[in-house]
Amino acid sequence: MAHEVEREALARYLEDHHLKHTKQRDVILDVFLKAEGHITSDQLHQKIRSEHPGIGHTTIYRTMKLLCEAGLATERHFDDGVTRYEIEHEHHDHLVCTRCGKIIEFECQMIEATQEKIAARYGFRVLRHRHELYGHCKDCRED
């Protein structure tokens, strides 16, 4: 079955926290895991409502919060004020187009190493960071 590892992780989290395991939560998890990139709860609702009209926006919002708490999703807040969710995976940074809203993930070892050197210079231990670059993507640029 697709996404079995994530379903098991969610089931363990729910059991450990004495929460109900529902079909609605499984549906939301499956649709979220199939989504590409960064998705809002409104976008999830649009994907879910045709096959599962009984799953409301509030249930989706609360389930996404739960998936974040369980370590299966990450909540992202970019400059547009819209909350987006992405699958929890290896650290990466973002390029965000301020015209069309496109979000591009990238990894750069040079940036990571430089951040560590700067922190070490000041005796600072980095626990986490968020690196977002805002501008215009290649489709929106006016060169």
Question: What are the structural domain ranges in the chain?
Answer: 4-87, 93-135
**Taking a C-beta distance cutoff of 8 angstroms, is the pair 79, 98 a contact?**
yes
| Residue with the two structure tokens 């050197």 | 117
Residue 1 has what pLDDT? 45
* CA angle (40 as vertex; 37, 45 as ends), nearest 5: 115
User: CATH topology of 4-87 equal to that of 93-135?
Assistant: no
Confidence of residue 37 (pLDDT cuts 50, 70, 90): confident
Q: How would you class 62 by CB atoms within 10 Å of its CB: exposed for 0-12, middle for 13-18, buried for 19 or more?
A: middle
Q: Which fold has domain 4-87?
A: Arc Repressor Mutant, subunit A (1.10.10)
Taking alpha carbons only, the member of 89, 99, 98 closest to residue 37 is 89
SS3 category, 102? coil
- pLDDT number for residue 14: 92
Task: Domain 93-135: give its CATH code.
Answer: 3.30.1490.190
pLDDT surpassing 80 at residue 143? no
Among residues of the chain, what percentage have pLDDT more than 70?
95
| Lowest-confidence region among 11-25, 39-53, 86-100, 112-126 | 86-100
